[in-house]
A and B are shown apart, each in its own frame.
Chain A
Amino acid sequence: MAESICRVLRDGALEGEHAPALTIKDSIASPFGFHVFSHVLSQLSSFLFAGKSQSRGLVIVSFSRSPSFYLELLKSKGIDVVSSDKRIQILDCYSDPLGWKDRLIEAGSFTALSHESSVSSTAIVFKNVKYMDKLYNSIIELGRGLVGGGRNRFSVAIDSVDEMLRHASISSVASLLSNLRSHDQVSSVFWLLHSDLHEDRVTSVLEYLSSMVASLEPLHEPANGQRGDLEKFSLIEHNAKKGKFHARFKRRNGRVRLMSEEVRIEQSGINFTSLSSEGAVNQGLAPKVQFNLQLSEKELIDRANVVLPFEHQGNGKPIQIYDGRRSLVDSKQERPVAVTEKVQTNEDSGRGEIIYFRDSDDEMPDSDEDPDDDLDI
Chain B
Amino acid sequence: MEQRYSNLLDEALGLDQTIEPWPLRGRIVAIEDQVETSGSFVLHHLLKRALSPNSSNVSIFIAFSQSFSHYDRVLRKLGCNLVTQRDNKRFFFLNMLKLQCPGGDGGITPEGGLIALYGKIHETISVLPEISRKNVTIIIDDLSLMEVAANGSSDYVLNFLHYCRTLTSEFDCSLVTLNHEDIYASADRPTFLLQMEYLADILIKAEPLATGLATDVHGQLTVMNKGINYGQDSSRNKISNFHFKVKENIVECFYPGSRG
The interface of chain A, by Cβ under 8 A from chain B, is 28, 31, 34-35, 38, 65-66, 68-69, 72-73, 75-76, 94-98, 100, 103-104, 107, 109-111, 113, 162-163, 166, 194, 196-199, 226-230, 232-233, 236-237, 240-241, 265, 267-269
Q: Find chain A residues with CB under 8 A from B231 CB.
A: 72-73, 75-76
B209 in contact (CB, < 8 A): yes
A229 and B169 contact, Cβ closer than 8 Å, known pairs A98-B159, A100-B118, A265-B237: no
Q: What residues on A are CB-neighbors of B126 within 8 Å?
A: 111, 113
Q: Is the CB of A96 within 8 A of B195?
A: no
B189 within 8 A of A: yes
Q: Are B197 and A28 in contact (CB under 8 A)?
A: yes
Complex contacts, A241 vs chain B, CB 8 Å: 237
Q: A31-B197, A232-B210 known; 6 other A-B pairs, CB under 8 Å?
A: A65-B169, A69-B169, A98-B159, A100-B115, A197-B195, A236-B224
CB distance from B173 to the nearest CB of A (A): 13
Partner of A95, one of B159, B166, B195, B209: B166
* Cross-chain contact B222 with A194 (CB below 8 angstroms): no
Which size bracket describes the interface of B in this complex? 35 or more
B220 touches A229 (CB 8 A): yes
A226 touches B239 (CB 8 A): no
Q: Given the complex of chains A and B, what is the CA–CA distance between A371 and B134 in angstroms? A: 87
The answer to whether residues A76 and B230 also contact, given A109-B123, A166-B158 and a CB cut-off of 8 A, is yes
Determine if A233 and B241 form an interchain contact, defined as CB atoms under 8 angstroms apart: yes
Interface string of B162-192 (1 = CB under 8 A from A): 1100100110000000000000000001010
| Residue of B119, B191, B198 touching A31 (CB-CB under 8 A) | B198
Are the CB atoms of B220 and A237 closer together than 8 Å? no
A373 to B256, CA, bound (A): 56
Show the binding face of B for A, using Cβ within 8 Å. Answer: 115-116, 118-120, 122-123, 126, 155, 158-159, 162-163, 166, 169-170, 189, 191, 194-195, 197-198, 209-211, 220, 222, 224, 226, 228, 230-231, 234-235, 237, 239, 241, 256
* Given A110-B122, A228-B210, CB of A236 within 8 Å of CB of B239: yes
Q: Is the CB of A233 within 8 A of B222?
A: yes
Question: Do B191 and A236 have beta carbons less than 8 Å apart?
Answer: no
Interchain Cβ contacts under 8 Å between A and B, 24 examples: A28-B194, A31-B198, A34-B228, A65-B169, A68-B169, A75-B231, A76-B230, A96-B166, A97-B162, A100-B115, A100-B118, A100-B159, A104-B118, A109-B120, A109-B123, A110-B119, A111-B123, A162-B195, A194-B194, A197-B189, A232-B210, A237-B239, A240-B239, A265-B237
Query: Which chain B residue lies CB-closest to A72?
Result: B231
Q: Is the CB of A109 within 8 A of B220?
A: no
Please measure, in the bound complex, the distance between the C-alpha atom of A148 and the C-alpha atom of B119, giving whole angstroms: 40
Whether A196 lies near B194 (C-beta < 8 A) is yes
Cβ–Cβ < 8 Å partners of B209 in chain A = 229
A110, B230: Cβ atoms closer than 8 Å:
no
Q: Are A72 and B230 in contact (CB under 8 A)?
A: yes
